[in-house]
């Protein structure tokens, strides 16, 4: 089985390195095809491992020693257990679809080959992240996906906004990674090892304050990667990247790494329920906060990005309250329908020549039936309507919040579910139905190539059926993760499900009703709330005014005053001194033998004096 493990892990690396050979050449179709095949091989291996883990249990290999210094021992070790294999399957499945899709999407891009190299490198980093059996390997993968995310957001680097967004994402993550590093240092300091097994085995002996500190620091890292408040602004701006990137990295896989970290450290977080509750509260806040921003946005991709943010909040609620398998379940189902939604949005963008304003679309159903159906399915799944995937996972999270007695969190999530349904269908209505606004703007939309649509079908299927495997999923993952008992009586459970379904259906119905009649009137857009929401609560402005500007001023001061006048001056004066000395002593080389002989005598005298006074240490 080790062979399959190594295949699953290294096929993306081979793909990335091979395609990188052609990175600066013009488009070559085979790079995309080979990358897709290699990622598909990785996916098949992951599925084989899934079956193997199901029958034989976890697989643990030590590839080789990596860092052996004093008491520090870190191997290149990989573990395929119930959690990591679920992540592997999800990541490789979505990646395969996205790779195939990208062949169509990036068709006219002159950096076609480079794109596939980056995309495969991302998959490799993500595999390292989920498969590592120690925190350092996880951190390497963590940084690797951060790097690939930076490369891919800034893929069209000649666009100022793209390179700005790439830097923003990277810097935000850097702030959070500092927290994560602190957590790792604390773990090593207190435990003396970074292997998951040893760390979790020794945690019980540690002081609870230390455990809580470690938990908080690790969660700061997770907040950055999963774009939780207040580090959330980068995710919406990351939509500057090509749409397949948004689908793979900023919806399905990388942003869920934070949730994965909390799930992986479940044993740690279950020891500190207060921190867990704080995580859940933050998650619920983000779920509502992001959903409200999605309500009024007119940018096709940003709406879906805010929706991702909101769903990540849901996952953190489940993980924070100790329902780790439910968080993982929602992570998986969300990966399927959210990537489908994004890839569908990519088709729409292509049809509309990269136009993103949904107010300029409308009535696209006529020309893009397949995409419209797939996106509607994904939206229904996202809204959580029975029997699609989102219903099962999201409803479980609401039940968990209710079960824990956190009625306030439950209420926030409940409202969030209604908002989710509303903004999903606002998007569907504005894009695919209603007035054909695009005619006024002179667009001629056309459906994507057939193979692109076929590539999306597996995701469409999974968005429908993934939820049906809830019980198998629970049985499988709770072999490793903590079980979660729900104590609500059956009657209340039915009422809860009914209420959630009602608010979701209500949201959908309201959106359809309202937007069939041309949407809200213009006066709404003058209102305070509309402005607050469409300006993202003015948070980017606040960041710019109170963080970026002072920091820029500080940087300028440091640059012009400290760097130029102190550091550079010192270095320059050393150089100048040496230069001047050379200029002066050049005259020694007069070419006159007499002068040289005199200098020779001087040298001899100096050496003699040294010989007289120098006493070597006895």
Partner 1 sequence: MITLTHYLILTGLLFAIGLVGVMRRTNLLMLFFSTEILLNAVNIGFVAVSKYYGDFTGQMFAFFIIAVAASEVAVGLGLLILWYKRNGSVDLNSLQMMKG
Least distance CB 578 / partner 1 (angstroms): 17
577 in contact with partner 1 (CB under 8 A): no
108 in contact with partner 1 (CB under 8 A): no
Which among 398, 394, 397 is positioned nearest to 411, based on CA atoms? 398
Report the C-alpha gap between 236 and 308 in whole angstroms. Answer: 10
Which among 8, 148, 15 is positioned nearest to 80, based on CA atoms? 8
Least distance CB 608 / partner 1 (angstroms): 12
How far the first Cα of the chain sits from its last, in Å, is 65
Q: Which residues contact 353 (CB under 8 A, 6 or more apart)?
A: 443
Nearer to partner 1, 208 or 590 (CB): 590
Least distance CB 614 / partner 1 (angstroms): 22
Estimate to the nearest angstrom the gap between the alpha carbon of 160 and the chain centroid.
22
Among 158, 487, 594, 618, contact with partner 1 (rule: CB under 8 A)? 594
597 in contact with partner 1 (CB under 8 A): yes
Nearer to partner 1, 611 or 617 (CB): 611
Structure tokens at 202: 């020794």
How far is CA 238 from each of CA 148, 172, 217, 570, rounded to the nearest angstrom? 12, 12, 25, 41
Among 171, 544, 598, 607, contact with partner 1 (rule: CB under 8 A)? 598
Least distance CB 580 / partner 1 (angstroms): 16
Nearer to partner 1, 439 or 604 (CB): 604
User: Could you tell me whether strands 59-69 and 72-80 are parallel, antiparallel, or unpaired per DSSP bridges?
Assistant: antiparallel
Report the C-alpha gap between 344 and 377 in whole angstroms. Answer: 11
Q: Which residues contact 361 (CB under 8 A, 6 or more apart)?
A: 300, 348, 352, 355, 430, 431, 432, 437, 438
Nearer to partner 1, 567 or 608 (CB): 608
Least distance CB 576 / partner 1 (angstroms): 20
Among 586, 614, 615, 617, contact with partner 1 (rule: CB under 8 A)? 586
Q: Which stretch binds partner 1 (CB under 8 A): 45-53, 298-306, 590-598, 607-615?
A: 590-598
578 in contact with partner 1 (CB under 8 A): no
Among 516, 535, 581, 589, contact with partner 1 (rule: CB under 8 A)? 589
Which among 9, 250, 251 is positioned nearest to 126, based on CA atoms? 9
Per DSSP, the chain holds a count of helices (H) and strands (E) of: 28, 2
Nearer to partner 1, 369 or 598 (CB): 598
Which among 269, 12, 308, 270 is positioned nearest to 131, based on CA atoms? 12
Which among 155, 176, 90 is positioned nearest to 126, based on CA atoms? 90
How far is CA 140 from each of CA 126, 220, 597, rounded to the nearest angstrom? 10, 17, 63
Report the C-alpha gap between 370 and 358 in whole angstroms. Answer: 18
Q: Which stretch binds partner 1 (CB under 8 A): 125-133, 340-348, 541-549, 587-595?
A: 587-595
Least distance CB 586 / partner 1 (angstroms): 5
How far is CA 236 from each of CA 119, 168, 548, rounded to the nearest angstrom? 20, 11, 18
55 in contact with partner 1 (CB under 8 A): no
Q: Which stretch binds partner 1 (CB under 8 A): 152-160, 236-244, 257-265, 582-590?
A: 582-590
Least distance CB 168 / partner 1 (angstroms): 56
Q: Which stretch binds partner 1 (CB under 8 A): 160-168, 491-499, 500-508, 583-591?
A: 583-591
Binding mask 151-180 for partner 1 (x = CB under 8 A): ------------------------------
583 in contact with partner 1 (CB under 8 A): no
Estimate to the nearest angstrom the gap between the alpha carbon of 86 and the chain centroid.
17
Kindly list the residues in this chain that would bind partner 1 in the complex (CB under 8 A): 586-594, 597-598, 601
């Amino acid at each position: 089985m080790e062979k399959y493990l190594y295949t699953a892990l290294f096929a993306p690396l081979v793909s990335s390195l091979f395609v990188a050979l052609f990175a600066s050449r013009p488009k070559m179709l085979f790079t995309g095809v080979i990358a897709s095949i290699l990622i598909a091989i990785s996916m098949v291996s992951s599925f084989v491992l899934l079956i193997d883990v199901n029958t034989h249990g976890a697989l643990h290999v030590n590839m080789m020693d990596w860092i052996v210094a004093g008491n520090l021992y870190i191997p290149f070790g990989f573990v395929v257990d119930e959690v990591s294999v679920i992540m592997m399957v999800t990541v490789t499945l979505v990646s395969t679809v996205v790779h195939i899709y990208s062949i169509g999407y990036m068709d006219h891009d002159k950096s076609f080959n480079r794109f596939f190299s980056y995309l495969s490198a991302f998959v490799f980093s993500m595999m390292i992240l989920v498969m590592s059996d120690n925190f350092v390997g996880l951190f390497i993968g963590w940084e690797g996906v951060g790097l690939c995310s930076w490369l891919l957001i800034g893929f069209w680097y000649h666009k100022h906004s793209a390179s700005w967004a790439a830097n923003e994402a990277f810097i935000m993550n850097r702030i959070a990674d500092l927290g994560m590093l602190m957590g790792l240092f604390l773990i090593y300091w207190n435990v003396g090892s970074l292997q998951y097994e040893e760390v979790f085995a020794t945690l019980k002996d540690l002081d609870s304050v230390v455990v809580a500190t470690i938990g908080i620091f690790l969660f700061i890292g997770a907040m950055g990667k999963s774009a939780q408040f207040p580090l959330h602004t980068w995710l919406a701006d990351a939509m500057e990247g090509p749409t397949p990137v948004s689908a793979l990295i900023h919806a399905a896989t990388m942003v869920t790494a934070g949730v994965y970290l909390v799930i992986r450290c479940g044993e740690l977080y279950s020891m500190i329920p207060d921190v867990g509750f704080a995580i859940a509260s933050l998650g619920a806040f983000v779920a509502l906060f992001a959903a409200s921003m999605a309500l009024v946005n007119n940018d096709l991709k940003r709406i879906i990005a805010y929706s991702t943010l909101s769903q990540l909040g849901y996952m953190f609620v489940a993980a924070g309250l100790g329902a780790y398998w439910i968080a993982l379940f929602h992570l998986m189902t969300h990966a399927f329908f959210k990537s489908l939604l994004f890839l569908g949005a990519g088709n729409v963008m292509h049809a509309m020549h990269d136009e993103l304003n949904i107010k300029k679309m409308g009535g696209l159903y006529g020309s893009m039936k397949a995409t419209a159906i797939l996106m509607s399915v994904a939206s229904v799944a996202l809204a959580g309507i029975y029997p699609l995937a989102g219903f099962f996972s999201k409803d479980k999270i609401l039940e968990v919040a209710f079960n824990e007695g956190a009625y306030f969190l439950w209420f926030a999530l409940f409202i969030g579910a209604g908002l989710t349904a509303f903004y999903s269908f606002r998007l569907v209505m504005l894009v695919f139905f209603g007035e054909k606004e695009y005619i006024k703007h002179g667009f001629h939309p056309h459906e994507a190539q057939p193979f692109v649509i076929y590539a999306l079908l597996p995701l469409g299927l999974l968005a429908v059926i993934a939820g049906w495997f809830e019980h198998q999923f629970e049985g499988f993952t709770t072999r490793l993760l903590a079980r979660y008992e729900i104590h609500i009586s059956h009657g209340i459970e039915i009422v809860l499900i009914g209420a959630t379904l009602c608010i979701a259906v209500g949201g959908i119905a309201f959106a359809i009703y309202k937007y069939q009649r041309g949407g809200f009137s213009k006066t709404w857009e003058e209102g305070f709330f509309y402005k607050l929401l469409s300006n993202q609560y003015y948070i980017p402005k606040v960041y710019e005014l109170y963080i970026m500007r002072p920091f820029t001023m500080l940087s300028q001061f440091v640059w012009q005053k400290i760097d130029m006048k102190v550091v550079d001056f010192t270095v320059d004066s050393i150089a100048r001194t040496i230069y001047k000395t050379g200029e002066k002593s050049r005259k020694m080389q007069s070419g006159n033998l007499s002068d040289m002989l005199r200098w020779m005598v001087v040298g001899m005298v100096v050496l003699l004096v040294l010989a007289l006074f120098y006493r070597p240490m006895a």
